[in-house]
Structure 1
Amino acid sequence: MEVNHLTSVLGADRPGPKPRISQNGVKFRTLCKRCNNSALGLNYDLAFNDFTQGIKSYLTSSIKLPSVMYVSGKPGKIARAVFGHLSAVGVDRFHEGDRSDEMMEWFLDESLPMPSRLRIKYWVYPYKTQILIRDSAIRDLRAQDAAVFWLMKFFPVAFLVLWDSPSGYEYPQFADLARWGNADPEAEIELPIYLNSVPHERWPEAPEDHSFLLYGEGAVAANARIKRRS
């Protein structure tokens, strides 16, 4: 994969640095062994992969799909996988405090309900570019406040993590893993996939006429590297 800062795919005028090459997918050497191997690799990622592969199997089939389809999944584990992988974006990014401590405890202890300040929206993403954004802000001029968000997008699904649910950023057209935040982590639930609510490829990371966004270094875009003949 060729990994660039997000602004390189948003049409920024100034050319960015040379892309970083990442073998076998986008990787960050930032998680400890316990989180990466035990929590993610041997637990949450199994449910996460089953869910994404279930969506992919529908999208790549020849059957006629309804406006709403359902894919079986474990929302508590899927949500923790999304949070764990986005936590890996960037180096030395952990911040102590009420929010960080609460999220760390929830990530490591499956008996805890999802924190009430957290929303994880998801939708079908039928595009090739992978997007990973951590600790960014969006300001919709039609809303009173800004919203802090994390974002993960890859074929076939996108996840938008929103903090504290400010008014104007509800996005009711998408399903929300927080709906099942108190469910048993081992429970298999039929999770809805809304096929009539697929936004354009650069939503929400590209500013619109009524919004602007702020990014840090933890905002990257990745595409499959094109092998060039010598």
Structure 2
Amino acid sequence: MANYSKNIIERLTNRGPNVGYCAICRTHGPLTKDHVPPKGCGNINDSIISHVYGNNSEKPGRPLLSQGGSHFRTICGRCNNTLLGTEYDWALSDTVCAIEAYFQRASASRLTLPRTQLFDYQPNRFLRSVIGHLLAANAVPDVTEKDRAIPLDDALRAYVLDPSATLSDQVCVYYWFYPHRRRVVMKHSAMGFCGGNGAAIYGHVFKFFPFGFWVVWDEHGDRSNHFNLRRLADSTPTISASARLVLDLSQLPPADFPEAPTDNGMWLVTDYLVSQAEDRTKPVTPI
């Protein structure tokens, strides 16, 4: 019975211990709640966190209510408030707000949207914000262990912690326009292919309006080219460098991409490292 209860708890949790190893800098000390994605991206309402694929009979679990947005207690105060909150998050939030404002204006004018649209942004701060919160998400089991040698996460931490670093050549960050409010995190997951001789695309997936991100590690071959995704490749040593973000507005992937592959593919996950969050809907008062 004890093991069964432990499985239920480990399957989905966001609270984490009060003290542990920060999911970003790995220092040991008090941990704080990190909003995933940050508050500036609209993550402020009471949310229901659940498993991406729902419950199952072996590990039923149950959805969690997360007040004030979806968050995980997994990072230290410095990484939360100074590194992400002060240095990087505003670049992501500004871009999200600019895109949302664009669609509001387009909706009011009833103009036909172009196939692509450009948005000014700071790619190095933007990407560090995305990666920092991705490291914090679903990382509750990580904060109780000091040494977890995971090459992908080690490369992402090194990039976030050093403002002059460029992203490792072994990491590719793909993105697409995601016009949905469901927020999804899938860590250490992989897409396999029937008849692919063991070929797979391994990495992390992070989706929230208006972006889907697929952070891929050490990809061999050209499997990902099939999906026609844009790549964030503006990584330079200059933290304040500016660029223009290309957002494709047509021929979008399905809402459940990539976790629901086509008939010749499969999606492999670690059960407790996949979650989704949606704003809690207020109950309707009977008349």
Asked if Structure 1 and Structure 2 have the same fold, meaning a TM-score greater than 0.5 normalized by the shorter chain, the answer is yes
SS of 1:153's equivalent? strand
1:68-107 CA deviation, whole Å, 9 max, x = no partner?
A: 1101111111111111111112213272355444332221
Question: What's 1:205 paired with?
Answer: 259
CA contact (8 A) 2:164 2:237 kept: no
AA at the equivalent of 1:117: Q
Alignment counterpart, residue 185 of structure 1, candidates 239, 243, 249: 239
1:136-156 CA deviation, whole Å, 9 max, x = no partner?
A: 111123644112121111122
SS of 1:86's equivalent? helix
Alignment counterpart, residue 224 of structure 1, candidates 279, 283, 286: 279
Question: What's 2:95 paired with?
Answer: 51
Question: What's 1:123 paired with?
Answer: 176
Question: What's 2:212 paired with?
Answer: 158
SS of 1:220's equivalent? strand
CA contact (8 A) 2:91 2:122 kept: yes
CA distance in 2, matches of 1:200, 1:142: 24
Any residues of structure 2 matched to 1:1-230 within 5 Å, and which?
1-8=47-54, 14=57, 16-62=60-106, 63-90=111-138, 91-93=140-142, 95-96=148-149, 98-141=151-194, 143-144=196-197, 145-167=199-221, 168-170=223-225, 173-177=228-232, 179-182=233-236, 184-216=238-270, 217-228=272-283, 229=285
1:168-198 CA deviation, whole Å, 9 max, x = no partner?
A: 1235622211x21226220111111111241
User: Judging changes above 3 Å, is the alpha-carbon distance between structure 1 residues 38 and 85 closer, same or farther for their aligned structure 2 residues?
Assistant: same
User: Judging changes above 3 Å, is the alpha-carbon distance between structure 1 residues 136 and 68 closer, same or farther for their aligned structure 2 residues?
Assistant: same
AA at the equivalent of 1:180: D
Worse-matched range after superposition: 201-210 or 99-108: 99-108
AA at the equivalent of 1:73: Y
Structure-2-length-normalised TM-score: 0.72
Question: What's 2:30 paired with?
Answer: none
4+ residue segments displaced more than 6 Å: none
Instruction: Count how many residue pairs are aligned between Structure 1 and Structure 2.
Output: 226
CA distance in 2, matches of 1:130, 1:99: 22
SS of 2:224's equivalent? coil
Worse-matched range after superposition: 216-225 or 95-104: 95-104
CA distance in 1, matches of 2:179, 2:267: 23
SS of 1:92's equivalent? helix
1:86-133 CA deviation, whole Å, 9 max, x = no partner?
A: 111221327235544433222111111111111111111111211111
Between Structure 1 and Structure 2, which shows a larger proportion of helix residues?
2
RMSD: 2.1
AA at the equivalent of 1:227: K
Gaps of 5+ in 2: 1-46
CA contact (8 A) 1:86 1:133 kept: no
Gaps of 5+ in 1: none
Highest RCO, 1 vs 2 (Cα 8 Å, sep ≥ 6): 1
User: Judging changes above 3 Å, is the alpha-carbon distance between structure 1 residues 190 and 171 closer, same or farther for their aligned structure 2 residues?
Assistant: farther
CA contact (8 A) 2:120 2:242 kept: yes
CA contact (8 A) 2:202 2:219 kept: no
